Structure 1
Amino acid sequence: MTDTKYYDVIIIGGSYAGLSAAMALGRLLRNVLIIDSGLPCNRQTPHSHNFITQDGEKPGVIAAKAKAQVLHYSTVAFLTGLAVRGAKIENGFEITTQEGEVVKGRKLIFATGIKDIMPDIMGFSDCWGISVIHCPYCHGYEFRDQKTGIMANGERAFHIASLVSNLTNNITIMTSGKADFNAGQLAKLQNPNIQVVETEVTEIEHENGHLRSVVFSDGSKTDFKAVYAAVPFTQHSDIPVSLGCELTAQGHIKVDSFQKTTIDGIFACGDNSAMMRSVANAVYSGNLTGAMANKELTDDQF
């Protein structure tokens, strides 16, 4: 980290979105600080997919390469730490880390991601990102033609089933309670390749995160190779809301088409502000955010 304590832009979150934003800014010689705690949400995922040139690479390898390239730009600095407080000050913002570091910047970019809320099901969190997965685009091809479960209900379960039906002809939807589908959905689910089970799931049996079977409350179990699960989430950082940034009804940070939040001078990118949860989207939105933050700085100064 440099001796400078006042930056053009402070980026909170140093994974794909934050690093991508920093690269765009660094190439325009903006004085940038990235703050990151080193705990990305996909740290348990063995391989990243659906990202051209990096398909099948380990997420940590992609992030490490990106960080090294970004820090090649002399105006970009990296601070390992957890940002815990933010405040509006004259001509910008002030961020305080858990370690007591205080830094100031003209603009803020939140690339902080989201935190998945794991259900109280034994084995679930151990398999998350490995064989209990969230996205057919990110993971589905690797489990094609395999017996596949879907832990969800209603519209979300129906949507996942429609996508996964092109990958396998052996699907079980596990609603853990009364199924909640409308008449049109039920008609389409009357398919010999799709089964709906309403019995509650109580355990995921696995070996080192690789799923073997799902155990139900009545003692029965079913073997699967993969299970898609729709889990709730919360923002990984509460600083955006504390600074007045609005959230969407789904819980994402509300941004416009230029990644600007509802508070002037604050941007957000990556999983914290998008329904499309992928490395490729994080990189894209980060790149756009860096360019838009630079445009604001240019408009302020030129």
Structure 2
Amino acid sequence: MTDKKHYEVIIIGGSYAGLSAAMALGRALRTVLIIDSGKPCNLQTPHSHNFITQDGETPNAIAKKAKNQVLKYDTVKFYDGLAVSGKKTSKGYLIKTEKDDEFTAKKLIFVTGLKDIMPNINGFTDCWGISILHCPYCHGYEVKNEKTGILANGNFAFHFAQLITNWTKDLTIFTNGKSTLTQEQIDRISNHNIPIIEKEITEIKHDNGYVEQIVFKDNSAFNLKAIYSRPAFEQHCKIPQTLGCELTEQGLIQVDMFQKTTADGIFACGDNASPLRAVSYAVATGNIAASIANNEMTIEEF
């Protein structure tokens, strides 16, 4: 908690991208406030992978270590709470929290992530991030050569089929209803001996989040160990849109190569602005956003 009201930069979201941005800004002697509600999208993921020096560590442990390091910079403060609104001011922006606290800053960095919209399948949410996976680079090694499913349709299903055959050949596509794959895609999938099952799914049976069976509407079942899926999503935080940040056709915050949004003085990084949902990418984009925000302020002040 903090009683100061004005900062040079407010970072909304205190996970990997946010903490990375805060460290870079703290080292640049900028006054920074991190506002975080403590609900990262990988909350129930047991281990983080493909992030050098932290491979196999728990997401919570990585974030905790990062937060401890970041808060050693005395110009960086942390606010435990949820940002609920924002507005433009003559000198920057004002952010209001659910506790009715208000803070102002010259620049904003949104690292608010995405909200995954779980399909209406019993057990899916319980397994999400544990054995229902979004990324083979993050988790594929741990289920290599296992009996694996792809719960997707159309182009997503085809892309996953191409990608995941490098981790396992024991692969089945579940479209959860009529397939929307093209005939060409079906032919190419068939050439790799990957079955396509179009039956509707009612349940995913599991043991503490680890998949055991897919159960279909006709009461038949299919045994497997892991599933790749890419559920629909929406922006976890709507404040960027109210401040003029445009979204892409995919629903991501539109940014340039420097993580700048379409609204002056506002940056976005991490999952909310990229389909590459990985810890390493979030950290990198947070660092970029911070350096560009700092550079803008130095130019404005000099």
Q: Which TM-score band (shorter chain)?
A: over 0.9
- Conserved in 2, the CA contact under 8 Å of 1:170 and 1:193? no
Q: Deviations over 1:18-55 (max 9, x none)?
A: 00000110000000000000010001000001111111
With over 3 angstroms needed to count, the CA separation of the structure-2 counterparts of 1:192 and 1:268, relative to structure 1, is: closer
With over 3 angstroms needed to count, the CA separation of the structure-2 counterparts of 1:193 and 1:143, relative to structure 1, is: farther
Opposite residue 299 of structure 2, the aligned amino acid is D
Match of 1:5 in 2: 5
- Conserved in 1, the CA contact under 8 Å of 2:2 and 2:79? no
1:2 deviates by: 4.5
Q: Deviations over 1:6-26 (max 9, x none)?
A: 100000000000000001100
Q: Deviations over 1:69-99 (max 9, x none)?
A: 0001000000000000101011100000001
With over 3 angstroms needed to count, the CA separation of the structure-2 counterparts of 1:192 and 1:28, relative to structure 1, is: closer
1:182 deviates by: 2.1
1:232-243 paired onto structure 2 within 5 Å? 232-243=232-243
Match of 2:139 in 1: 139
Unaligned runs of 5+ in 2: none
1:30-49 paired onto structure 2 within 5 Å? 30-49=30-49
- Conserved in 1, the CA contact under 8 Å of 2:82 and 2:97? yes
- Find runs of 4+ consecutive structure 1 residues off by over 6 angstroms: none
1:66-215 paired onto structure 2 within 5 Å? 66-191=66-191, 193-215=193-215
1:195 deviates by: 0.7
Match of 2:22 in 1: 22
With over 3 angstroms needed to count, the CA separation of the structure-2 counterparts of 1:192 and 1:270, relative to structure 1, is: closer
Opposite residue 40 of structure 1, the aligned amino acid is P
**For residues 224 and 137 of structure 1, what CA distance do their matches in structure 2 show?**
20
RMSD (CA atoms): 0.9
**For residues 156 and 75 of structure 2, what CA distance do their matches in structure 1 show?**
44
Unaligned runs of 5+ in 1: none
Matched positions, count = 302
Opposite residue 273 of structure 1, the aligned amino acid is A
Opposite residue 196 of structure 1, the aligned amino acid is I
1:183 deviates by: 3.1
Q: Deviations over 1:154-192 (max 9, x none)?
A: 110111111110111111100012212223312211136
Q: Which moved more, 1:185-194 or 1:110-119?
A: 185-194
**For residues 131 and 31 of structure 2, what CA distance do their matches in structure 1 show?**
41
1:241 deviates by: 0.5
Query: What SS class does the counterpart of residue 141 from structure 1 fall into?
Result: helix
Query: What SS class does the counterpart of residue 194 from structure 1 fall into?
Result: coil
| Percent pairwise identity | 60
Q: Which moved more, 1:252-261 or 1:1-10?
A: 1-10
